[in-house]
Structure 1
């Protein structure tokens, strides 16, 4: 899993920061779907994919409901953070979204909304976006770490553990 390799690199050589309770999510295997914990935080992780005809990177996160239909996760089912890793040749980075933000953005299912089972993410290197994509990139950028030319360890720890 490419995304887990990157996460492992982020915390290599640190004391007490290691992936535990790793569980693959087979329904999203194509996107490196898994859950795990580091310290007292829980994470759901996905690897986003470049699509040929649209800007940004596409990613899915869904589960089978009791009726065996795909559905978005609810607030209670979501770990503390959703990590979306983007690896595109020499460019790489991660979005680390707190579940409270996913809830506010209508991504998580609740009594008033079905939520979303997939989305696009727009790293800082994506330019010439349409208006909707630019608006999405604006709110997403607060949760993005560009790791293409090095890793800002302080930013990593801030987004992962606050």
Structure 2
């Protein structure tokens, strides 16, 4: 898994569990030794035709249908890992921000099952992507290699 090196570099020691779904995006749960609770992590992949990095986050319901996560599913944070040649970084989205940005399913929001992330080196973005990048960058941490 590519994301483990980046996560160990940033967090140090942690335990992890591979998720049953979202394996194409290296879905794992991590539990950092000194902290309580877990963090849900995903790799976001660069797409050839559109700026940004795409990832998914969903589970299956009792009918085997894909559905968005709820705040109970997320853990403390949603961590999106970006690895693009020599560029690396993490978007560390707290649970309350994921709720406010309608990423998680709540009684007031359907939530999302996929999303694009825009690190600072993404440019030539349309207006919607620029607005998304603006709030996302508050939660971005670049990882030096």
Q: With structure 2 as the length reference, what TM-score do the two structures score?
A: 0.94
In structure 2, the partner of 1:158 is none
Q: Residue 49 of structure 1: CA displacement?
A: 0.4
Query: Given the alignment, which residue of 19, 24, 35 partners 2:18?
Result: 24
Equivalence map 1:113-152=2 (5 Å): 113-147=109-143, 150=144
What stretches of structure 2 of length at least 5 have no aligned partner?
none
Q: Work out which structure has the larger RCO, using CA pairs closer than 8 Å and 6 or more positions apart in sequence.
A: 2
What CA distance in whole angstroms lies between the structure 2 residues aligned with 1:67 and 1:51? Answer: 31
CA–CA separation in structure 2 for the residues paired with 1:98 and 1:9: 20
CA distance in structure 1 between the partners assigned to 2:82 and 2:60 by the alignment:
25
Question: What is the Cα deviation at residue 113 of structure 1?
Answer: 2.2
Q: Cα RMSD (Å) of the superposition?
A: 1.2
Deviations 1:8-27 (A, max 9, x none): 12244xxxxx212x211121
Relative to the length of structure 1, the TM-score reads 0.84
Residue correspondences, number: 143
Work out whether residues 124 and 146 of structure 1, in 8 Å CA contact, stay in contact via their aligned partners in 2: no
Bigger fraction of residues in strand = 2
C-alpha displacement of 1:75: 1.0
- Does residue 64 of structure 1 match 2:60? yes
Taking the aligned partners of 2:57 and 2:11, their CA distance within structure 1 comes to 24
